[in-house]
A = this chain, B = another copy of it.
């Protein structure tokens, strides 16, 4: 496929793309759902801030219209619809393109699910594109609606920051859930050391590897964005970007700690298994070691030789029992001293 051909890669998660627009400044807020993308074109160069949110990336025609009108580079359009992008930021002078992953922890399947989010940050508008309708951006919508001072006073770059911040805040929720899982497993690893728990630990580790792979590039993305010379990002807002950057590093730090802890849990598991084996072996050894010699003694006097003087003696049987009890006690004493009992 030639670069520049728009083909949606990824599953179609939505019937029809949904387009919503928020146009605001400090005093005014206009909010509506659009039927046709063309209705949003008017906002391109209108001074107050406009946020165009598009849910659903399978409608190639729509994306192409956006591309043509907002003058988006073909590579950007391609990145938007190929949902397997590595997070990155690119400065195209007219606009800044940001792509990253919104992540969710599906607790029933112990699975980190990811959805690609693209932001196109122009001088008066911000276009956000998601694969499906989500609720992570709702907090930002609420803040705009409530007319909170800062976001209504600021430009689209602050809005972009607010969206990224909402996404990164969501990462912490995932960390929390993984943390809980780890604690559960740590408690169970001793009592239940079954192959199932190991499989669970392995699955969790796999999800952590996946999570890390998605979050790791964000570090670079936010650092680049923060240091951009572009006129589209105001100096004052770089402080905020620096703040999300710090949060991302904290997420990565915690992921690394989790990896270390999970490796340790594997060791705990393996040692629990080998301890159990040890215990099994001990039981076997104790039983066999005690009764094998006793059985041998009984075997001796079960022989049918004609001339076995002991068989005729009156106290033989009693003496034998005493002998057996002495052997038995000796063994028990030996095992006690070895601390096997």
Contacts and interface: CB of A to CB of B under 8 A. Distances in A.
A280 B340 CA distance: 9
Contacts of A265: 202
Nearest to A92: B239
A75 B150 CA distance: 12
> Number of copies of this chain in the oligomer?
5
Interface stretch (A33-41, A48-56, A282-290): A282-290
Given A3-B243, A209-B257, A289 B284 contact: yes
B280 A281 contact: yes
Interface stretch (A18-26, A120-128, A314-322): A314-322
Interface in A267-312: 267-278, 280-285, 287-289, 291-296, 298-312
A250 interface: yes
A198 interface: yes
Interface string A311-341: 1111111001000000000000000000010
A266 interface: yes
Contacts of A309: 317
Contact of A312 (B165, B273, B306): B306
A134 interface: no
A231 interface: no
A307 B314 CA distance: 6
Contact of A307 (B217, B256, B260, B316): B316
Contact of A73 (B90, B148, B239, B317): B239
Contacts of A256: 213
Contacts of A281: 277, 280-281, 284-285
Contacts of A275: 195, 273
Contacts of A302: 298-299, 302-304
A2 B317 contact: no
A331 to B, nearest CB: 9
A190 interface: yes
A253 B211 CA distance: 12
Contacts of A307: 313-317
A165 B243 CA distance: 26
A143 interface: yes
A289 B289 contact: no
17 contacts: A79-B243, A85-B246, A190-B199, A195-B275, A198-B271, A205-B264, A206-B264, A209-B260, A213-B256, A213-B257, A266-B267, A284-B284, A287-B293, A298-B300, A298-B303, A299-B299, A309-B317
